[in-house]
Structure 1
Amino acid sequence: MRVLLTTWGSRGDVQPLVALAVALRGLGAEALVCAPPDEEFATLLDRAGVPLVSVGPTVRSVTAGTKPPTAEDAVRLASDLVAEGFGTLEAAAEGCDVLLANGMMAAAGARGAADRLGIPYVYGCYHVRGLPPRKIAPEASGESAKDAADKAHWEQGQKAIAMFADALGSHRAKLGLPPVEDVLDYVYTDRPWLAADPVLCPAPAERTDIDVVQTGAWILPDHRPFPRELEAFLAAGEPPVYVGFGSMATSSPKDTARVAIEASRAQGRRVILSRGWADLAPIDGADDCLVVGDVNQQALFPRVAAIVHHGGAGTTTTASRSGTPQVVVPQIGDQPSWAARVAELGVGVAHQGPTATTDSLTKALATVLDPRTRTRAAGLADAMRADGATAAAQLLLDAANTQRPRANV
């Protein structure tokens, strides 16, 4: 059995597919991953022994430039990624028995590749915001957070149609294929997979229009030892505060680092800064701050006092499984929703807005350093499942055996 997994996005999009590939290998299947050619993604897949097929430009070249991408840039990228589905993805999928795509950026082209080769296609996402939006615009009748989220989700779908419909139509026309009547139905399908923990991110019970398959989060086990200086830092005093924003390039890295360090010191804590794409760095030569690169978060998070992060799906899941309280400072996309859920569960604080100040972060840390918050965080960790990748791998192999569509549609 041979499986193709594809995405185009940050590490938080790529790493779960690597976890799924490893789980598939454990069941005797061969899996390869199509993903952006960023160096850290290549390293990640190489470490796991999973073949990588490069798709599209590097994510860092698009998101971490001197200027944010424009709407025109987004449309151009969408067209390029659809073209990849008619080229790179289709070539990679030759001989595969099933294809799974994560996220609209990859899935719009991937669905066509699967259809033309006559193999089953599965759409997967990591948060309910990645599920297909409703067909009809939500009523603007309330001011609740749920009303706002529903409206934002519907608007997200309209933007996706605007980005991908023309590119999809033009590429299909060149091959003599009929137009796609409903882009969202075509990409998302009526049975999308939700790769998120049911306690941390439950599937929406009210969505009777779709059949959501919730597998649990796809977690890649990390067995890497700590660098010597990190182990020494942890052993030298009380648990520090961890601060990291992953693939998010903050607007002012110097201010972000300064706020993190000052707020941690105000609570009497040392701090570990994860360099990340924001390139966070110390503000002085004091020995209460350590900067780290890509380290084993699964082993690190249980040993810190609090975790300050951006609210990506992977980081939020890893933090929640660690039993350590969190401060989520959301930047984009589904991150505000993750922040809200962390606060709702009582295991951390959802920072209001993407830019923390020393005062706002100090207050947030005071809340999460309360022993009662840690007790709730430990309870959440005990309730979360760890078999999501294995469960999804088995479902994917079952789909390969039972769902053979008609080719060339």
Structure 2
Amino acid sequence: MALRELGAEVRVCAPPDADFGALLDRTGVPLVPLGPEVRPVVSGDRPPTAADAFRFAAELVDARFDTLSTAAQGCDVLLASGLMPAGARDVAEQLGIRYVFACFQLYGLPSRHFRPGVRPGTPSPAAETDNRVLWQQDAQRVNDLYGPALNRRRAALGLPPVDNVRDHVFTDRPVLAADPTLCPSAGLTDLDLVQTGAWLLPDDRPLPAGLAEFLDAGEPPVYVGFGSIAAYVPKDMAQVTIAAVRAQGRRVVLARGWAGLAPVDDAADCFVVGEVNQQALFGRVAAVVHHGGAGTTTTAARAGAAQVVVPQIADQPYWASRVADLGIGVAHQGPAPTVDSLSAALHTALTAGTRERARAVAAEIRTDGALVAAKLLLG
């Protein structure tokens, strides 16, 4: 939206899931389908295996070449994001246009200060502690995942092979679309990051009538939601979280999410929602219990809501640690809470001190990140 407000034409390529299409409908930008739907991959009975990852990696490289080669025709800039959008820079190279990589957290960026995350492929030796060596081994795992397909497609275009796919995708100067209060970055990676602040899509949609009535009917409830990480969420998460919230004498707003969380009974103290305006909702809840995605963490922080983060995968432990370090909530230890462990975390999050701190930090969250990024892209 910020780019369009500055007079630019925008094309968005994303997986063809209905949720992504609905999100883009709010902006008036059509979705150009890229690759397979995400939801079936992450909503199965089990997380994807290493073999799945190698297959998906090759399929996504091919999808980017096939889709972006057409979609980026006539464009001035190709902006790519995601865990490893291999193929996007190569299409930009072939078309002779500018390429920018954007990330939403520090996770996955080479650093002497922290270890790389887990990737499919040959694991690093357990005894290895040198972060430089560990990041070199991480680069090799990325090469193993994406290199064969990437270099096959580059060769077909007459382009030379890439010997370090990870650094090729990231470039030396990626954009960090994260709030500097929540995600300080100075000196923490080997890259020359350009931090714009988080990219926040304004949301003026009203809350559903039933939800608004539920909120008006009593003290602020606790929101519980785990987004799109369905295959990683423990099967009893709804039962555990509802019991933990009730143990603190609070009502529950339960987000179904891709995990399909459902109430355990028909008691009036639990209201179930689907996709909803979190910006409006989080300002009316006592606390937010969630998985620690970058978007949910930022939205809750901006709303001044205390948080309990139950991280599952990838960058989520990082966001949990930042919530705890800032004093705006609690990082739950481990991905599978019990009623007692989650109730204890909620007890801390619901204290006056934590909620006051959350409101104070909310005033520090920048809201101009998308505009800063748009001007950077058009500069």
Counterpart code for 2:299: T
Shift of 1:171: 1.5
Distance 2:353 2:78 in 1: 45
Is it true that 1:172 corresponds to 2:154 in the alignment?
yes
Change (3 A) 1:225 1:156: farther
Shift of 1:151: 8.5
Task: Report what 2:57 is aligned to.
Answer: 78
Task: Report what 1:335 is aligned to.
Answer: 316
Is it true that 1:30 corresponds to 2:9 in the alignment?
yes
CA contact (8 A) 2:14 2:34 kept: yes
Is it true that 1:350 corresponds to 2:331 in the alignment?
yes
Task: Report what 1:323 is aligned to.
Answer: 304
Counterpart code for 1:365: L
Task: Report what 2:284 is aligned to.
Answer: 303
Is it true that 1:226 corresponds to 2:207 in the alignment?
yes
Change (3 A) 1:339 1:41: same
Shift of 1:72: 1.7
CA contact (8 A) 2:177 2:199 kept: yes
Change (3 A) 1:132 1:307: same
Shift of 1:254: 5.3
**SS at structure 1 position matched to 2:75:** coil
CA contact (8 A) 2:111 2:188 kept: no
**SS at structure 2 position matched to 1:260:** helix
**Of 329, 350, 357, the match for 1:376:** 357
* Match runs of 1:83-102 below 5 Å: 83-102=62-81
Counterpart code for 1:247: S
Shift of 1:24: 0.2
Is it true that 1:129 corresponds to 2:107 in the alignment?
yes
Distance 1:51 1:379 in 2: 38
Distance 1:30 1:370 in 2: 47
CA contact (8 A) 2:46 2:231 kept: no
- Tell me how large the CA RMSD over aligned residues is: 2.3
Counterpart code for 2:276: V
- Larger deviation, residues 327-336 vs 122-131: 122-131
Post-superposition CA distance 1:162-206 (Å, at most 9, x none):
211111111222333211132222111000110000010011414
Shift of 1:155: 5.7
Post-superposition CA distance 1:322-377 (Å, at most 9, x none):
11100000011000000001001111000111111100010001000000001111
Post-superposition CA distance 1:53-103 (Å, at most 9, x none):
111111112111233222121111111111123211111000001011002
CA contact (8 A) 2:73 2:95 kept: yes
Give the TM-score of the pair, scaled to structure 2.
0.92
Distance 1:355 1:228 in 2: 33
Change (3 A) 1:352 1:278: same
- Larger deviation, residues 314-323 vs 183-192: 183-192
Distance 1:236 1:109 in 2: 52
Post-superposition CA distance 1:106-136 (Å, at most 9, x none):
2x111011000000000000001143456x9
Change (3 A) 1:168 1:316: same
Task: Report what 1:199 is aligned to.
Answer: 181
Task: Report what 1:63 is aligned to.
Answer: 42
CA contact (8 A) 1:104 1:187 kept: no
Post-superposition CA distance 1:204-223 (Å, at most 9, x none):
4143x421100000000011
**SS at structure 2 position matched to 1:277:** coil
Change (3 A) 1:149 1:334: farther
Distance 2:300 2:134 in 1: 26
Distance 1:26 1:261 in 2: 42
**SS at structure 2 position matched to 1:186:** helix
CA contact (8 A) 1:312 1:335 kept: yes
Shift of 1:149: 9.1
Is it true that 1:119 corresponds to 2:101 in the alignment?
no
Give the TM-score of the pair, scaled to structure 1.
0.86
Change (3 A) 1:277 1:374: same
Task: Report what 2:120 is aligned to.
Answer: none
Distance 2:215 2:76 in 1: 47
CA contact (8 A) 1:259 1:357 kept: yes
Unaligned runs of 5+ in 2: 117-123
Distance 1:174 1:118 in 2: 17
Q: Give identity over the alignment, percent.
A: 61
Task: Report what 2:226 is aligned to.
Answer: 245
Counterpart code for 1:168: L
CA contact (8 A) 1:327 1:368 kept: yes
Distance 1:38 1:60 in 2: 7
**Of 327, 333, 343, the match for 1:362:** 343
Unaligned runs of 5+ in 1: 1-21, 399-409
Distance 2:361 2:284 in 1: 17
CA contact (8 A) 1:343 1:350 kept: yes
Distance 2:321 2:192 in 1: 25
Distance 1:250 1:355 in 2: 13
Distance 1:182 1:149 in 2: 18
**SS at structure 2 position matched to 1:262:** helix
Is it true that 1:397 corresponds to 2:375 in the alignment?
no
CA contact (8 A) 2:115 2:135 kept: no
**SS at structure 2 position matched to 1:187:** helix
